[in-house]
Structure formats: structure tokens, C-alpha cells
Amino acid sequence: MGIGVSLFLIAIGAILAFAVHVVLAGISLTTVGFILLAVGVLGLIVALIMAGMGSGPGFRRSSSVEQTYGDPATGRVTRRSDTVL
């Protein structure tokens, strides 16, 4: 679960917990809201920890490649350096 999904769950949970006052048979929307709020907060904490550790969405591994080409006819040397993400 990413940061965006966590924030979405927190927002929906807060709306259900604090703003909706509808009574349904067998379902407490306030309790559902608090559950979504808790899951969103836990997901946000885990997502931020994973982002800080360098693994998870947004982590980029790069490697550089340098190649040298020579033209035997002219003696001209061409160097090429690429970075791959």
C-alpha cells in the first residue's frame, strides 16, 4: 500500500467516523470509519519507513555504462557514457 492509498483510507475513515451519522442495521459506520482510519495510519507509517530505507515505490537503481569505439580507417575514437535507471 502506497502513501496515496493510505491518505485515501485516512480521509474516508475520518469522514465515516466523524461526519456520517447514519444508522444501518448491523453495521456501525463509525466503527468502520475508525478501522479504515487505523489501517490508513499504519499503511502510511509502513510506506514512509519503506521509502526511507530505499526500497519500495520510488526507489531507483542506476548503473553507468561507458563504451569506447575506434574507427580503424580514420583513427577517430568515440566515447559514449549512458546511465540506465
- Tell me the DSSP string of 1-18: --HHHHHHHHHHHHIIII
| pLDDT computed for residue 41 by the predictor | 95
- Cell numbers describing residue 50: 519503506
Helix then strand count (H, E) for the chain reads 2, 2
Provide the 10 A C-beta neighbour count for residue 54: 10
- The whole model's pTM is what? 0.59
All cell numbers assigned to 15:
469522514
CB atoms within 10 A of CB 40: 21
User: What pLDDT band is residue 51 in, cutting at 50, 70 and 90?
Assistant: confident
- The predicted-structure confidence for 37-50, as pLDDT tens digits, reads as follows 999 999 999 988 88
